[in-house]
Structure 1
């Protein structure tokens, strides 16, 4: 059964100029595909083969004997979540319940944006910045490498990839410019709102 590499939810050039076609081709077709392929190889013939990937990630998190399986499985899941966290003509500010919740839990959108960009900027090396629901409260978190909020009992609403391959072709070493462009132009607030409503 395994986990299938999902297609991007938009055309490769749909996020230009903020995320280039070249970046998405490399990132989705090479990096993401490799994680999916390795994960499927590792679960073949094991008890995890027929289980949903989220269940496997939670079950093996922190198990040193399953670190390789976790890394590839979590990265496969994280990337799928990341593609959905972006959309053409996205960005700006959220509306409705999500906007009200951000105001209530962060003290306004600007304070949320500051916290989110700080999480991305201070994630040393490779990792992710997240907006999560944690026991009913919105929080900004960051995780290193393949780690994700599912293993902490949190509900991820959206994520920003801060591995260098996510932005280097477009922004070189300027992670702050990539993070600005992500929030202003591509973040998918509808996806975040759906995840919050489903929680």
Structure 2
């Protein structure tokens, strides 16, 4: 199959002032597009490979660019224009099964954000912070992955990109400020939909 760059479900400036238009355009049009192009090239080369050695040599490119495509496709839907700015539903956690599960796991929304941000800020180099559902225990857990590795041990509910290209143009080297600001544009409605689907055994990453 040929992979394509997904459209954003909002305009490039819709997440301002929390994430700038410039960041969103570069992140989507340049960075994600590069992962898509490189994944298609790696898969085409894999299909033409004539030996196990050639196929093994392509594994790193498939993992990195495939993960980049999966993670970013999930990330765009994780975001929404901020309710605090009167633009949308971003940052608004409504009553429902997901909120109940989140509070059971972490005690409060603020406690969850603090633990998530502390864990994610501790990533050395580039990577992703995740809230995921443990498919065995059906409990919400915080996890991180390095580089563009997709989340495999949990079903992804919320993912936050902490590569520098996701925030540097606006927040410079202060990753903590970016992590604090992004909760104003997190789409908790999407998180609840993923949570409900995950309870039924559906992983959103398999639907991309």
TM-score normalised by the chain length of structure 1: 0.86
- 1:144 and 1:72 mapped to 2: Cα distance? 13
Task: Report whether the alignment pairs 1:77 with 2:70.
Answer: yes
Output one character per residue of 1:18-49: Cα deviation in whole Å (capped at 9) or x when no partner. 111100111000000000000001112646xx
- Contact 2:70–2:150, Cα closer than 8 Å, also in 1: no
- Provide the secondary structure at the position in 2 that maps to 1:87: coil
Query: Aligned equivalents of 2:178 and 2:57: distance in 1?
Result: 33
Distance 1:193 1:34 in 2: 30
Deviant stretches of 4+, over 3 Å? none
1:146 to 148, 168, 174: 148
What residue in structure 2 maps to residue 87 of structure 1?
80
Aligned to 1:178, what secondary structure does the other structure show?
A: helix
Bigger Cα Rg: 2
1:7 Cα offset (Å) = 1.1
**1: distance between equivalents of 2:195 and 2:41?**
33
Secondary structure of the residue aligned to 2:13 is coil
Q: Within 2, Cα distance between the matches of 1:133 and 1:23?
A: 29
> How many pairs are equivalent?
182
After TM superposition, give the deviation of residue 110 of structure 1 in Å: 2.0
1:186 alignment partner in structure 2: 185
C-alpha separation in 2, matches of 1:85 and 1:174: 22
Unpaired runs of 5+ residues, structure 2, are 48-55, 83-89, 199-208
- Partner SS state of residue 146, structure 1: coil
Partner of 1:198: 197
Paired residue secondary structure (1:158): strand
Structure 1 residue runs without a partner (length 5+): 48-62
Q: Which residue of 1 aligns with 2:175?
A: 175
Q: Supply the distance in 1 between the matched residues of 2:105 and 2:169 (Cα, whole angstroms).
A: 35
The TM-score normalised by the length of structure 2 is 0.83
- Residues 94/160 of structure 1: CA separation in 2 closer, same or farther (3 Å cut): farther
- Give the 3-state SS of the residue equivalent to 1:3 in structure 2: coil
